[in-house]
Amino acid sequence: MRAVAVVGLGKTPFGAFPDRDLRSLAVEAGRKCLSNAQAAPEAIESFYLGNFAGPSFVGQNHLAPYVSTALGIRGVPATRIEAACASSGSAFYHAWTEVAAGIHDLVMVVGVEKMTSQTTARVSEILAAAGDCSGEMKAGNTFASLFAMIARRHMHDFGTRKEHLAAVAVKNHANGALNPDAHMRKPITMEQALAGKPIADPLNLYDCSLISDGAAAVILAPLERAAEFTAKPVRILSVAQASDYVALDQKDDITTFPAVRKAAEAAYRMAGVTAGDIQFAELHDCFTIAEIIASEDLGFVPRGQGGPYALEGCSARDGQRPINTSGGLKAKGHPVGATGVAQICDVALQIRCEAGARQIPRHSLGLAQNLGGSGATCVVTILAEP
């Protein structure tokens, strides 16, 4: 396989934008990305769109050519990938395989979601379709209630406390406050995080990611051609995707996600690194417990130690391994179809020393972990200096 690099990136701010539609968000991110790579739309040979639920959120289907043609990209394969909240992470994986295999040289990936055009109740209903609709969702579950069960079991098995969950929220809000593109630029205290409005015990408002609109885009090229497009290419050391059961009741243990472990093992093996080599990471904190479990499943800490790791400041910007310097889904926002590519952008910005006030000193090897549903899909990507 050929070595592959990210040669262009672009993002919209994440937030609630009542005057914006899905296509305008995707086009903004895409145009920024093309400009960043100094590439013309005609140069793009293949196009992938990561989108979870455009047909349900905005009533539009056939979304890949709907977006690509608006960017001036015509006559090439245009493919939409749906994998719940891991939709654009999966789209990135498929784009990488094309370039690595030599099928195409210049491939664009855009992730987008327009969520705020629906009521909160309707958004919860649409999101629930990424779970087991014939069982757990039919019984009235939402993803908040499912991750609450996961959190409660983690507390039972490992002694995890609400203070551990709150530490993740406080850290990610502090990072988001420094991110000009974040949905929630609001620091919070531990007291505020613990006193949030109850959502599904033990989770409260500050444990849950935001309903957001937004888009992100990247362009991939062979590493040998990267200098044609940028002076700051970011090498893709590995990308791995794995899957597991959709329903919680089919899992042997709901305090760990086998798809995350398998994707991480494959990514580490392909990149020739270990968990201990990873300097920083963007993890999928759809709920605070998800970041805690991800840090364990990725091998950053032993099982049951993700909570203390956060509370002790080890994952803060000045900690031993910064996690979610972007603010994470918790503060940056979670337009689900855009999240995976946005994580790639945020890791790349750190590696390129373009993260502004959030820049960390050790930034040459980073990881992104994008989760779909309650662990049914996971994509792990490892990026590095070229």
CATH of the domain at 102: 3.40.47.10
Per-residue pLDDT at 136: 86
Indicate whether 181 and 193 sit together in one domain.
yes
Indicate whether 107 and 219 sit together in one domain.
yes
Indicate whether 282 and 264 sit together in one domain.
yes
Q: Domain span at residue 253?
A: 133-199+237-384
Q: Give percent of the chain above pLDDT 90.
A: 97
CA distance 9 to 7: 7
Indicate whether 152 and 108 sit together in one domain.
no
Q: pLDDT averaged over the chain?
A: 97
CA distance 328 to 215: 15
Does a structural domain hold residue 317?
Answer: yes
Q: Cis omega (within 30 of 0) on the bond before 202?
A: yes
Stated pTM of the model: 0.97
CA distance 221 to 99: 6
Active site residues: 85, 334
Residue 72 pLDDT > 90, yes or no?
yes
Per-residue pLDDT at 34: 98
pLDDT digits (tens, 9 = 90+) for 209-234: 999 999 999 999 999 999 999 999 99
Indicate whether 108 and 150 sit together in one domain.
no
CA distance 212 to 185: 13
Range list of H helices, 37-128: 54-57, 63-68, 87-100, 120-128
* C-alpha closest to that of 86 among 382, 282, 369: 369
Indicate whether 81 and 176 sit together in one domain.
no
The answer for 112, left when phi > 0, alpha when psi is -120 to 50, beta otherwise, is beta
Indicate whether 231 and 241 sit together in one domain.
no
Indicate whether 82 and 45 sit together in one domain.
yes
CA distance 154 to 303: 10
Indicate whether 301 and 366 sit together in one domain.
yes
With cut-offs at 50, 70 and 90, classify the pLDDT of residue 134. Answer: confident
Q: Where is average pLDDT lowest: 142-146, 150-154, 238-242, 275-279? A: 142-146
Residue 135 pLDDT > 90, yes or no?
no
Indicate whether 218 and 176 sit together in one domain.
no
Indicate whether 92 and 228 sit together in one domain.
yes
With cut-offs at 50, 70 and 90, classify the pLDDT of residue 140. Answer: confident
Does a structural domain hold residue 262?
Answer: yes
Does a structural domain hold residue 207?
Answer: no
How far does CA 29 lie from the centroid of its chain?
16
When divided into structural domains, the chain yields a total of: 2
pLDDT digits (tens, 9 = 90+) for 345-378: 999 999 999 999 999 999 999 999 999 999 999 9
